[in-house]
C-alpha cells in the first residue's frame, strides 16, 4: 500500500515536472500552441521575489502575487503600463493576467512606488 502511494506521488511529480518544463521538446504538441506563462511572485518585507520576470510579447502572462507579511508596504500592486491596480490581502494568491504586446520592460510596484519589479518582455 505504501509502495503504491509512493509510485502515484512520483507519477504526479513527473507530470508536474513535464508540464512545467520549458517547451524545448520538439515532440510536444504544445510547441504549436501559445502556452500561457505563469509565474508566482512573493511579496515580502523587502519587496518582490522574483523581482524580475521574463515574458514574451503575444503570450499571455499570469502573475500570481502572494503577500506573505504585514511588514513593509506591499498591500497594493500597480502595473502602471497595463492600468492594473490590485489589493493584495495577506497570504492570499492574487492572479493578474495580461498579454504583453511589445518587447520592452514593464515596471510593477507597490501602491506608494517603493517596491520595484520588472517584467522583461522579449519580442514575438
Ligand atoms: Cu510601498
In this prediction, residue 13 carries a pLDDT of: 44
The rounded distance, in Å, linking the Cα atoms of 58 and 1 is 47
In this prediction, residue 33 carries a pLDDT of: 54
Question: Would residue 74 count as lying in a domain?
Answer: yes
Digit-coded pLDDT (tens) for 9-26: 444 444 444 444 444 444
Q: How far is the CA of 47 from the centre of ligand 1 (A)?
A: 9
Q: How far is the CA of 75 from the centre of ligand 1 (A)?
A: 8
Number of domains in the chain: 1
Range of the domain at 59: 36-122
Residues 106 and 38 sit within 8 Å (Cβ to Cβ)? no
Q: How far is the CA of 122 from the centre of ligand 1 (A)?
A: 28
Burial of residue 61 (CB within 10 Å: 0-12, 13-18, 19+) is buried
pTM across the whole model: 0.72
Q: How far is the CA of 93 from the centre of ligand 1 (A)?
A: 19
Q: How far is the CA of 2 from the centre of ligand 1 (A)?
A: 49
Question: Would residue 81 count as lying in a domain?
Answer: yes
Question: Would residue 12 count as lying in a domain?
Answer: no
Digit-coded pLDDT (tens) for 22-72: 444 444 444 445 678 999 999 999 999 999 999 999 999 999 999 999 998
Other residues' Cβ atoms within 10 Å of the Cβ of residue 99: 16
CATH code for position 102: 2.60.40.420
Question: Would residue 31 count as lying in a domain?
Answer: no
- The gap from C-alpha 42 to its chain's centroid, in whole angstroms, comes to 10
In this prediction, residue 35 carries a pLDDT of: 79
Question: Would residue 95 count as lying in a domain?
Answer: yes
The rounded distance, in Å, linking the Cα atoms of 15 and 32 is 20
Amino acid at each position: 500500500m505504501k509502495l503504491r502511494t509512493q509510485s502515484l506521488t512520483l507519477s504526479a511529480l513527473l507530470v508536474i515536472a513535464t508540464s512545467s518544463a520549458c517547451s524545448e521538446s520538439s515532440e510536444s504538441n504544445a510547441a504549436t500552441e501559445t502556452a500561457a506563462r505563469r509565474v508566482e511572485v512573493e511579496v515580502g518585507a523587502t519587496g518582490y521575489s522574483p523581482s524580475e520576470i521574463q515574458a514574451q510579447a503575444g503570450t499571455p502572462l499570469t502573475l500570481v502575487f502572494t503577500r506573505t507579511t504585514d511588514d513593509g508596504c506591499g498591500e497594493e500592486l500597480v502595473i502602471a503600463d497595463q492600468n492594473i491596480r490590485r489589493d493584495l490581502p495577506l497570504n492570499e494568491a492574487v492572479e493578474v493576467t495580461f498579454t504583453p504586446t511589445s518587447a520592452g520592460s514593464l515596471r510593477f510596484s507597490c501602491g506608494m512606488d517603493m517596491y520595484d519589479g520588472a517584467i522583461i518582455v522579449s519580442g514575438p
